[in-house]
Amino acid sequence: MSDDRTIIRWSLWIGLGLFGVVVFAKSFDLITVAVIAGLLGLLALGFAGYGALDNAAERASLRRRAAKVQREREQGR
């Protein structure tokens, strides 16, 4: 597993955990804690989403390059 995927997974779980803190804090009327945890959770989930999209775009680029090389090899025969 690459370092990027590890960071994305950590960000995802941290973001989800912080949203759990939001629900817990909201149930005890700790609005300030809920707001801060919510903002940090959104930041972590946004980072995880960006990383996932970046990885998907990178994989798509590699597939396109491999297909291009394959077409060039077939035309060269």
pLDDT tens digits, 37-50: 999 999 999 999 99
Q: Are the beta carbons of 52 and 8 closer than 8 angstroms?
A: yes
pLDDT tens digits, 15-45: 999 999 999 999 999 999 999 999 999 999 9
> For the whole model, what pTM was predicted?
0.79
Structure tokens belonging to residue 52? 């996932």
Of the candidates 41, 46, 35, 33, the one whose C-alpha atom is nearest the C-alpha of residue 16 is 41
